[in-house]
Amino acid sequence: MVGLDDQKECLLEDLTESYSGEPKVIPIVGMGGIGKTTLAKEVYNHESILRRFDIRAWATVSQQHNIKEVLLSLLQSTITMDDTVKMSGEAELADMLQKSLKRKRYLIFLDDIWSCEMWDGVRRCFPTEDNAGSRILLTTWNDEVAYYAGIENISLRMSFMDQDESWSLFKSAAFSSEALPYEFETVGKQIADECHGLPLTIVVVAGLLKSKRAIEDWGSVAKDVTSFITNDPDEQCSPVLGLGYNQLTSNLKICLLHFGIFPEDSEIPAKKLMRTWMAEGFLQWENDLEGEAEKCLQELVDRCLVLVCKKSLDGTKIRSSKFMI
């Protein structure tokens, strides 16, 4: 993970060190697009974490939170799900979750908590007795939420990438395993610098250039990036995504906008998404609509506008995805 190795080691140590008190809350704090979720996912699946905890459960919260959906997401990792569980009320689900975690060393990850009210809504579900060594990991952009969750000092605040880290991430996203032609390096470093160390900005801009191998195209994007991106990182994401959107073909634009009908931050089954595209007439080919849909989804992934959540066992097909931000 470019630029995240130190934070990863710090977080792994915090999650696995001996601790006998109530479940420890560990926040990862930083602005949108800075890599909080990427870091958390890397640690969540680390072999030392798999050995350490009896139960791991993950839920994405987001701004338009729904406590029942959060509870169902967590329960998917702790009990066998059936229609009875899915039809249960919020109080019943909270009770199921608490019972499933009792006397277990658990790791709960709550991604993207926006408010103290949301924390209040779920924290009662996490048992505190006979759960020595348990951890609750959360990501948030809001310092108030981190302190409210019981933290005296924020131990992990995400920082912007330095110049070398920015260039390394940009180069790997734009060229993958290809050799970098010398003439692209100067303009490439200029573009990476203009992204002001924000990982999301870097990968989206690099995604624009992934299929462009004319130096004139890179120069044109460099001018666009300079005019689009502000010095205020909080204002960067929307203009950059707009720049990525404007570079798409008309059918890809429609397909990307279609992600907006799904709940924020939700993981969308690829078949459901592509069948909707086909039913709505977004695709132009008549003979192999499914093949065209797969190509469109892969193109959005390649441009770093859509994130792959799950792939087929052989790694050749996308099983689920989500909008990048």
pLDDT at 155: 66
Report residues of the chain scoring pLDDT below 70. Answer: 1-3, 64, 150-155, 227-240, 285-286, 325
| CA 10 to centroid of chain Cα atoms | 20
The Cα 147–Cα 152 span in angstroms is 6
Q: Which two tokens stand for residue 238?
A: 């929307």
CATH code linked to domain 250-323? 1.10.10
Answer whether 38's CB lies under 8 Å from 162's CB: no
pLDDT at 107: 94
Distance linking the first and last C-alpha atoms of the chain: 19
The phi and psi torsions of 109 (rounded to 5 degrees) equal -115, 120
pLDDT at 56: 94
Q: Which two tokens stand for residue 52?
A: 């350490």
In one letter, which amino acid is 204? V
> Which of 313, 317, 305 is CA-nearest to residue 270?
317
pLDDT at 212: 80
> pTM of the entire structure?
0.73
How many helices (DSSP H) and strands (DSSP E) are in the chain?
16, 8
Residue 324 CB partners (closer than 8 Å, separation 6+): 200, 204, 241, 304, 305, 306, 307
**Residues 178-194: b if buried by 16+ CB within 10 A, e if exposed:** eeeeeebeebbeebbeb
Instruction: Give the tens place of pLDDT for each residue, 208-222.
Output: 888 787 888 888 888
Domain 5-157 top-level CATH class = alpha beta
The Cα 262–Cα 260 span in angstroms is 5
pLDDT at 10: 87
pLDDT at 49: 93
Structural domain boundaries of the chain? 5-157, 163-243, 250-323
pLDDT at 267: 85
Instruction: Give the tens place of pLDDT for each residue, 115-167.
Output: 888 888 888 888 888 787 899 999 888 888 888 886 665 668 888 888 999 99
- CA distances from residue 200 to 18, 31, 305 in whole angstroms, order as listed: 34, 11, 10
Answer whether 7's CB lies under 8 Å from 1's CB: no
Domain 163-243 top-level CATH class = mainly alpha
